[in-house]
Amino acid sequence: MTPQGVFEREPVGMAERILADGSSRWPVEAGRYRLVVARACPWAHRSVIVRRLLGLEGAISMGIAGPLHDERSWRFHLDPGDRDPVLGIEYLGEAYRAADPDFDAGITVPALVDVASGQVATNGFADLTKDFSTQWTAHHRPGAPDLYPERHRAEIDEMIDSFYDSVNNGVYRCGFASTQEAYEQAYGELFDRLDALSDHLAGRRYLVGDTITEADVRLWVTLVRFDSAYHGHFKCNRHKLTEMPVLWAYARDLFATPGFGDTTDFVQVKQHYYGVHDSINPSGVVPLGPDLRGWLTPHGRDELGGRPFGDGTPPGPVAEAERVPSIG
């Protein structure tokens, strides 16, 4: 937090990359790493989506921290014995300190943990999903889509940069602002960018090209949480997502696409945001709404054309252990 009351996201503390060419100390190796996520967290959710779309479940196992945490970090309070069944730890912070006993930066999800040593290999969320697309290709499922096509990478990166600070991080800048001026600045930038994205998507199905890309994944994880958390809890209340027709239809289109809605847990989203931010919601009361049935209504976006998976195919059914509650 700056003296002006502006929320600033801290840089991650272990941003090493896992690379296929052996140039990093962490090589690509099936079965070596466990992806630790939390259903509530948008930054983690995008890694869950990409892992599923690319079919990396057999190469990278997944541990799921619960929606609640304290000063000791994300906790595996939904697992038997309150411990991750593979890593054997109660708090994710244990894996960070296994890598660095003096680690004192943010303990964040997603994190890829080296199972044998119990050490966090990386929590570099900025590169993680791109690396799933480009470094883990030997372990992609047959028919995996190209979420980061080389011919569109510059455009995808430019698009991501256009909404990272104003939308992905912008909702947090609204919610955690400690001065009126900082809040109003973040609020204005958030809705200005959402208006621009709405205009961009009015006549096209996806953000870049005619298929789902990394850019869509990154925008969508914020949109899907908008009405359940950001509109009320973070005071992003000019409009609900359901009151922004283009973005609402775009979000419903992706929600109906395998990999998106079937990895979304609205219950845990609300439990997290309303349950851990004491300074914003000191009572800890979790709202019952909104009504989620609208997510299942027709979106009409297929009339715009496009091919969700390009030359690829949809992923298969979600593994039983990774299913989320249905809203239908």
3-state secondary structure of 121: strand
74 is in an annotated binding site: yes
Torsion sign over Cα 41, 46, 49, 55: negative
C-alpha to C-alpha distance for 80 and 68, rounded to whole angstroms: 16
Name the catalytic one among 96, 172, 183, 230.
172
Residues 125/217, Cβ–Cβ less than 8 Å: no
3-state secondary structure of 229: helix
Name the catalytic one among 41, 206, 273, 274.
41
Question: How many other CB atoms sit within 10 Å of the CB of residue 115?
Answer: 17
Question: In which region does residue 188 sit, left (phi positive, over 0), alpha (psi from -120 to 50) or beta (all else)?
Answer: alpha
Q: Is residue 250 annotated as part of the catalytic site, yes or no?
A: no
Q: Which amino acid is at 87?
A: L
Q: Which two tokens stand for residue 117?
A: 């040593």
Q: Is residue 230 annotated as part of the catalytic site, yes or no?
A: no
Residue carrying the six token digits 């945001």: 273
Residues 246/198, Cβ–Cβ less than 8 Å: yes
In 66-140, beta strands by DSSP E: 69-70, 73-74, 111-114, 119-122
Using alpha carbons, select from 172, 290, 277 the residue that is nearest to residue 227. 290
- Rounded to the nearest 10 degrees, the angle between the axes of helix 180-201 and helix 153-163 is 140
- The CA-to-CA distance between both ends of the chain, in Å, stands at 40
Q: What element of type H or E holds 61?
A: strand 61-65
Indicate the length of the chain as a whole number. 328
Beta-bridge partner residues of 19: 27
Pairing relation of β-strands 111-114 and 33-38?
A: antiparallel
Tell me, rounded to whole angstroms, the distance of Cα 7 from its chain centroid: 19
Residues annotated within the binding site are 74
Residues annotated within the binding site for glutathione are 74
Residues with catalytic roles:
41, 172
